């Protein structure tokens, strides 16, 4: 595919616009100046050509008369002038250099031109004579291109009083050279001017856009803040000097500041609400731990007292005990999330992930013997920097998630590897997969893949296997985020993989 052209910045557009307009004006002025100069030089050359034609008439014996007004040239056999030829014109007095002449006396044609370098009179070729003959009837100066070394000539045809046709011409090479020199001077001056203007324009535009750059820098700093979570102090504002409503940039800066004020108020309200919720959850969780422990203890004590109780009473005690265990786990999870939300520091130490996975898979095998548990470990132990109890809870939650949400006989593979300065733990199962609509909210709190609160229960009065509370994967995401790691999931029917990446020790 062809590469897309990168968009131009505002500074580049402004500078190129100024330089382009100046270049257009310079080209127009240069063309007009050259055209006017050339027309002026051609007019001056036409005046010289008219003077040369007048002198040529004298050289041909026309215009010199006696007292009766008769021309000496009209007298047959005039010994002074003889037969009119082109040489008579070219060798006449005060003729300009480079003069070209053609004379037709009715019977023969003579031609010639004066060479500028040597001053000698040279003859014209038959083709050049034919070109001049085509213009011999012209009464006004015209331009004829003779080709070769002669180039363009300005020629004018006249008829003497004796009936002799003659044509004189002057070269346009001087006019062309002067016009070309002017064009070169204008081009060089314009080029130097464009370079100077481009440098000045770039400096002026950069100076003019500095307020906009400061506004942009403020917006970039705000955009980099984690506004979606945690305590955020939104103190960045556009400087007061860049909020003048009389300027375009000032209006943008003022509007951005007003928007930031509204966002800051919204963040403060959200943070206050979150603080109240976290405090309530923490207080409630802490207060619920004691009564739940009492309920569990008394139910277990009664069930183990050895007294003969009816079956329905034993079943009720088993249910009370199992529900107290479940509620205790839920309270502990809520308390942990509240502490993580408060940003409490973790006890970061080097953790041997190899032994941690060995223990976790062993526990998972004991809890779910109807699943197939496999473990792949590298040859060398891998250590990560983390809080070991919290990391154990992460792995336990992932394995419990694979056990609870897959059918019996499902194979679960736990693997450990080092990659790009990170320890990577993957938990893969070949179960039915996660519905696509649940993937986006999988790590949110109280997100569950099953609709029931409880899964299958036994009939022995033992604690039931309860359904998901929706906090296991939320705890995984919160703990890994506190370790500056990342957790992702990739699922399709027949294969689901959770990937956890942690910084190496």
What digits encode the pLDDT tens for the residues 230-243?
667 777 788 888 78
Confidence of residue 138 (pLDDT cuts 50, 70, 90): low
Burial (0-12, 13-18, 19+ Cβ within 10 Å), 45: buried
- What pLDDT shows up at residue 184? 92
Confidence of residue 80 (pLDDT cuts 50, 70, 90): very low
Contact 54, 168 (CB under 8 A): no
Q: What is the pTM of this model?
A: 0.51
Query: Average pLDDT in the 258-271 region?
Result: 83
Query: Average pLDDT in the 84-104 region?
Result: 81
- φ, ψ at 409 (rounded to 5°): 90, -5
Tell me: pLDDT of 105 over 60: yes
Query: Average pLDDT in the 17-42 region?
Result: 91
How far from 235 is each of 17, 116, 221, 238, 343, CA to CA, in Å? 38, 84, 10, 10, 21
**460-485 per-position pLDDT tens digit:** 333 434 445 677 788 888 888 888 88
**272-325 per-position pLDDT tens digit:** 877 777 777 777 776 777 787 788 787 877 777 777 778 888 888 788 888 887
- What pLDDT shows up at residue 36? 93
- What pLDDT shows up at residue 230? 64
**CA 158, CA 161: separation in Å to the nearest integer?**
10
């Amino acid at each position: 595919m062809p590469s897309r052209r990168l968009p131009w910045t505002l500074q580049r557009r402004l500078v190129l616009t100024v330089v382009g307009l100046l270049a257009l004006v310079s080209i127009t002025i240069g063309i007009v100046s050259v055209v006017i100069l050339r027309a002026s030089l051609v007019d001056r050359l036409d005046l010289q050509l008219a003077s040369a034609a007048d002198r040529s008439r004298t050289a041909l014996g026309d215009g010199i008369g006696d007292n009766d007004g008769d021309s000496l040239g009209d007298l047959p056999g005039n010994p002074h002038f003889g037969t009119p030829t082109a040489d008579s014109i070219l060798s006449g007095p005060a003729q300009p250099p480079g003069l070209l002449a053609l004379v037709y006396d009715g019977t023969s044609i003579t031609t010639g031109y004066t060479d500028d370098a040597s001053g000698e009179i040279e003859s014209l070729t038959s083709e050049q004579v034919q070109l001049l003959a085509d213009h011999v009837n012209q009464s006004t100066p015209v331009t004829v291109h003779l080709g070769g070394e002669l180039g363009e000539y300005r020629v004018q045809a006249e008829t003497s009083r004796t009936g002799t046709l003659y044509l004189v011409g002057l070269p346009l090479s001087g006019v062309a050279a002067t016009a070309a020199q002017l064009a070169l001077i204008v081009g060089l001056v314009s080029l130097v001017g464009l370079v100077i203007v481009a440098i000045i324009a770039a400096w002026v535009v950069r100076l003019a856009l500095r307020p906009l750059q400061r506004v942009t820098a403020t917006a970039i700093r705000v955009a980099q803040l984690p506004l979606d979570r945690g305590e955020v102090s939104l103190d960045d504002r556009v400087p007061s000097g860049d909020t003048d409503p009389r300027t375009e940039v000032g209006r943008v800066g003022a509007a951005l500041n007003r928007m930031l004020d509204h966002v800051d108020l919204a963040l403060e309200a959200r943070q206050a609400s979150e603080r109240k919720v976290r405090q309530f959850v923490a207080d409630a969780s802490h207060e619920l731990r004691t009564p739940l422990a009492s309920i569990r203890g008394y139910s277990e004590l009664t069930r183990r007292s050895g007294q003969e109780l009816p079956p329905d009473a034993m079943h009720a005690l088993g249910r009370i005990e199992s529900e107290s265990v479940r509620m205790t786990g839920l309270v502990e999870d809520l308390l942990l999330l509240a502490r993580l939300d408060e940003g409490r520091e973790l006890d970061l130490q080097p953790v041997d992930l190899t032994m941690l996975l060995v223990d976790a898979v062993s526990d998972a095998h004991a809890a779910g013997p109807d699943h197939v548990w496999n473990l792949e470990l590298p040859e060398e132990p891998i250590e990560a920097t983390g809080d070991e109890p919290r990391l154990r809870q992460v792995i336990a939650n992932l394995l419990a998630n694979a056990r609870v949400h897959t059918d019996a006989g499902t194979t679960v593979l736990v693997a450990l590897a080092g990659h790009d300065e990170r320890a990577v733990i993957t938990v893969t199962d070949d179960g039915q997969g996660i519905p696509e609509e649940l993937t986006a909210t999988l790590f949110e709190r109280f997100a569950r893949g099953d609709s029931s609160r409880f899964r299958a229960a036994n009939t022995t009065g033992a604690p039931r296997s309860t359904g998901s509370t929706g906090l296991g994967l939320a705890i995984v995401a919160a703990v890994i985020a506190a370790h500056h790691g990342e957790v992702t999931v990739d699922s399709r029917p027949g294969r689901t993989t959770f990937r956890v990446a942690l910084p190496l020790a």
